[in-house]
Amino acid sequence: MRLDHFYSVLKFVFFLSAGLQGNAIANPVSLETFRGEHIVSIDFNAQKAWAKRPDPSKSGLKGCLKKALVDLIPIPFFRPTFSCSPAQTLKAEVDRIHHLHAQDVFVPNILEKTSQWIVLSDLGPTLDSLMALASLEDKKKLGIQAAGALAALHQKGQWHGRGEIRDMTLTTSREIGFIDFEENPNGPLSVKQARDFLLFLFSLSEFFEDPQDMVAIVQNYKNQGPRWSYRIARVIFQIVSPFVKVLKIVPLGRDGVRLLKAITLIESTLKVIECPKNPS
């Protein structure tokens, strides 16, 4: 009798504990949550969220070694971000999110943070995933909206760090959101913004074939964004593109073909904007 009574009490405590835990966090986060990845989708308090830790290939010992190498690149614009300290990388992203949130930029809410990972609210599907399924006209509409959102971000004196469409989302309110703030390029604000804009164009080029289809997108950023950011991006592109065109005379892999296609498309688009045909 006493043993049965003890067993019943134990079961009651177990189920009560399980119930309380289920109400608090559906899937508690631990290092095992990541399964070797640096960002994973989870169910957090009955809502979709993202658990994120510093990318092991960009921080810690590997990041430290890569940072020493990229620091040798003479032009800061082309240096990717690496860090010796995973905790510092995480803190920098948290600080950026708080700062952008205070500027009324659509960024994720921080649901939980530790020294090893953070949990972020979901901001909707990324633009690259939407464009992969969209019609040409819908791609253009999304591109124009994204260009306007990037321009607005820059007009607030901010930058993203990468600016690609995989770093932008479409929220439930149909606004453009920004995610993934791991990159923190060197240089003055105008150069950081120019880098955003160029990487934005490169990421868009995967979804377009005709320069005319990108004109309205680029024009929207040019009209709404800081004037110096566009001009600096144009100068940087003019400097880089001749060197990359050497790829035309060498055998190319898939990445090389994509890069050459992107540069050709962007160059043609900029020419249409800056040298429009006179009406006959």
User: 278 or 106: which carries more pLDDT confidence?
Assistant: 106
* Structural domains of the chain, with CATH: 27-121 (3.30.200), 127-274 (1.10.510)
* pLDDT of 18 above 50: no
Average pLDDT, the chain: 80
pLDDT digits (tens, 9 = 90+) for 103-129: 999 999 999 998 888 999 999 999 999
Of 162, 229, 222, 165, the residue nearest 193 (C-alpha): 229
The pairing of strands 110-113 and 118-121 is antiparallel
State residue 168's pLDDT score: 98
User: 28 or 41: which carries more pLDDT confidence?
Assistant: 41
* pLDDT of 101 above 50: yes
Of 107, 114, 116, the residue nearest 54 (C-alpha): 116
**3-state SS, residue 272:** helix
pLDDT digits (tens, 9 = 90+) for 257-266: 777 788 889 9
Cβ pair 221, 197 in contact under 8 A: yes
Cβ pair 155, 224 in contact under 8 A: yes
State residue 75's pLDDT score: 56
Lowest mean pLDDT among 27-31, 129-133, 154-158: 27-31
State residue 275's pLDDT score: 76
Of 147, 143, 145, 93, the residue nearest 118 (C-alpha): 93
**3-state SS, residue 276:** coil
Distance between CA atoms of 52 and 29, rounded to whole angstroms? 10
| Band of residue 144 on the pLDDT scale cut at 50, 70, 90 | very high
Which residues contact residue 277 at a Cβ distance below 8 angstroms, ignoring those fewer than 6 apart? none
> Which of 70-79, 105-114, 229-238 is most confident?
105-114
**pTM for this prediction:** 0.80
Which residues contact residue 138 at a Cβ distance below 8 angstroms, ignoring those fewer than 6 apart? 131
Cβ pair 170, 127 in contact under 8 A: yes
